[in-house]
């Protein structure tokens, strides 16, 4: 890390400003900080973080020109706008850092979220090396690089008659599991996916995954890219615990969990971006109430389309569940999943939630909504067989039945056992000599030998 008397050990991290992307990037920062690097987080003003929660990092606020941000902007337009607006402010910020750091330490590398692809151009202009962080599963990344071929072969857009069919070369995924299924703006999505799948001049790819979870896909992905790939997750289990929540965590649910019997509670959350409608809220409420199972339900503000959720909860629901249910707007999820009272996770199957659930040996009910969630759900339910898919329209009796299957009986025991086996394998991967442990050390070597 030493060059002409200067320490070449500053890493600049560029997260994509959404919760499911911020968490792994900040965890990666904590991991690399523990390896002796100085960490600067170059963060957009949009969804900005509180630096006081991260005393080990330096923060650089990047002007994103979104002061008149229109909340109705779709996510593709938002990501593209963020990228376009990012280049020059990031470039200026990096140039300033290079000047300030001249005497003490130099920037070894810029690590950017694959969705913040323009960070590569900013770094490249200043001749700084870059590495890409992929925050989704390898499986989903692999399908992204396969889309051009599938499109050329006439499989995209998939016809309705094909939706249940397996995608050639991508078993066990069906066409309906693909990230592009049911998208309102297919062409724009394919274009963005193609852009974010390229690594351009970046020298490596870091993945928040574990070799033992995604071995076959990892081998295929390595063939696609000509650069080293470092699968070194799950980050949240390697980094020291910290919170990068954009919403305030309601810790009262932990006090409530403390009063519940071991493995009795089903934890319900659809993450930071998915939403349901009023009918789905009502069916979920009655499904939970009728299952007679204690539950902790996160209803994020804005996650129910229409009115606020308090007004929409059905008459009689609160009386029916009384002390058996706890509802919060945002939970300390990792702490919740690690709690002895939690026996199952009804999830939208975002990649972070999937990893967090596996790491606590918690089987899942999969209710994927969009993007890579359907692929993660397919893996959880059909390959790892540690979850049950809620495949059809949300309906209270089906919900009640699925909760019962997840939380008690032979099927539950078998799923719990398989989840515990996976948890153990993941723990071995992050321990000394394990695949993620070795990958992290390889990454540190790679950065230290980058041409900074």
Stretch in the footprint of ligand UDP (CB under 6 A) among 41-49, 137-145, 195-203, 351-359: 351-359
In the complex with ligand UDP, which residue's Cβ is closer, 16 or 406? 16
Q: Tokens in use for 229?
A: 């790939």
Return the residue of 28, 167, 192, 273 that touches ligand UDP, per CB under 6 A: 273
| Cα 134 from Cα 352, distance rounded (Å) | 12
Q: Tokens in use for 317?
A: 């629901």
Return the residue of 352, 362, 402, 435 that touches ligand UDP, per CB under 6 A: 352
Q: Tokens in use for 355?
A: 């990893």
Stretch in the footprint of ligand UDP (CB under 6 A) among 56-64, 67-75, 254-262, 265-273: 265-273
Residue 304 DSSP class: B
Closest CB 246 distance from ligand UDP, rounded Å: 9
Return the residue of 38, 303, 333, 357 that touches ligand UDP, per CB under 6 A: 333
Is the distance from CB of 145 to CB of 197 less than 8 angstroms?
Answer: yes
Instruction: Report if residue 47 touches ligand UDP, rule: CB under 6 A.
Output: no
Is the distance from CB of 415 to CB of 408 less than 8 angstroms?
Answer: no
Instruction: Report if residue 293 touches ligand UDP, rule: CB under 6 A.
Output: no
Give me the sign of the Cα torsion angle 170, 171, 175, 177. negative
36 to 27, 31, 180, 360: CA distances (angstroms): 15, 9, 40, 29
| Cα 315 from Cα 327, distance rounded (Å) | 16
In the complex with ligand UDP, which residue's Cβ is closer, 205 or 359? 359
Instruction: Report if residue 272 touches ligand UDP, rule: CB under 6 A.
Output: yes
Stretch in the footprint of ligand UDP (CB under 6 A) among 185-193, 271-279, 384-392, 433-441: 271-279
Return the residue of 334, 339, 416, 423 that touches ligand UDP, per CB under 6 A: 334
Closest CA to 174 of 189, 194, 159: 159
Instruction: Report if residue 20 touches ligand UDP, rule: CB under 6 A.
Output: yes
Instruction: Report if residue 19 touches ligand UDP, rule: CB under 6 A.
Output: yes
β 229-231/205-207 pair status: parallel
Q: Which residues bind ligand UDP (CB under 6 A)?
A: 19-20, 23, 245, 269, 271-274, 298, 330-331, 333-334, 350-353, 356
């Amino acid at each position: 890390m030493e060059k002409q008397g200067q320490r070449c050990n500053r890493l600049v991290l560029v997260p994509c400003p959404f919760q499911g992307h911020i968490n792994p990037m900040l965890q990666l920062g904590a991991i690399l900080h523990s390896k002796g690097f100085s960490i600067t987080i170059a963060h957009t003003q949009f969804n900005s973080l509180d630096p006081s929660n991260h005393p080990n990092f330096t923060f650089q606020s990047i002007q994103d020109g979104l002061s008149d941000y229109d909340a109705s902007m779709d996510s593709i337009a938002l990501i593209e706008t963020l990228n376009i607006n990012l280049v020059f402010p990031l470039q200026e910020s990096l140039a300033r850092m290079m000047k300030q750091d001249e005497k003490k330490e130099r920037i070894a590398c810029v690590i950017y979220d694959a969705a913040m692809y323009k960070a590569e151009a900013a770094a490249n202009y200043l001749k700084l090396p870059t590495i890409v962080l992929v925050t989704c599963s390898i499986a989903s990344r692999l399908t992204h690089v396969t889309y051009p071929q599938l499109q050329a072969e006439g499989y995209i857009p998939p016809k309705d008659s094909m939706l249940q069919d397996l995608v050639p070369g991508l078993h066990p995924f069906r066409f309906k599991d693909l990230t592009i299924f049911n998208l309102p703006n297919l062409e724009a999505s394919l274009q963005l996916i193609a852009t974010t799948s390229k690594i351009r001049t970046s020298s490596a790819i870091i993945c928040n995954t574990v070799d033992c979870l995604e071995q076959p896909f990892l081998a295929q992905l390595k063939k696609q890219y000509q650069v080293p790939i470092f699968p070194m997750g799950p980050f949240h289990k390697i980094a020291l615990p910290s919170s990068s929540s954009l919403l305030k965590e309601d810790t009262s649910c932990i006090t409530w969990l403390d009063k519940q019997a071991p493995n009795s509670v089903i934890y319900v959350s659809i993450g930071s971006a998915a939403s349901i409608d009023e009918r789905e809220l009502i069916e979920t409420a009655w499904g939970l109430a009728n299952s007679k199972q204690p539950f902790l339900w996160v209803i994020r503000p804005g996650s129910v389309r229409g009115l606020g959720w308090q007004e929409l909860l059905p008459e009689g629901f609160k009386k029916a569940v009384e002390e058996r249910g706890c509802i919060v707007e945002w939970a300390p999820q990792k702490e919740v999943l690690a709690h002895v009272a939690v026996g199952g996770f009804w999830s939208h199957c975002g990649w972070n939630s999937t990893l967090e659930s596996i790491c606590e040996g918690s089987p899942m009910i999969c209710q994927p909504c969009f993007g890579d969630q359907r692929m993660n759900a397919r893996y959880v339910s059909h390959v790892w067989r540690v979850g049950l898919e809620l495949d059809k329209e949300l309906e209270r009796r089906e919900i009640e039945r699925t909760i019962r299957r997840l939380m008690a009986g032979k099927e539950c025991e078998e799923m719990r056992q398989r989840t515990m086996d996976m948890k153990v394998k993941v723990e071995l991967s992050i321990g000394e000599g394990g695949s993620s442990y070795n990958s992290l050390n390889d990454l540190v070597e790679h950065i230290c030998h980058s041409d900074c």
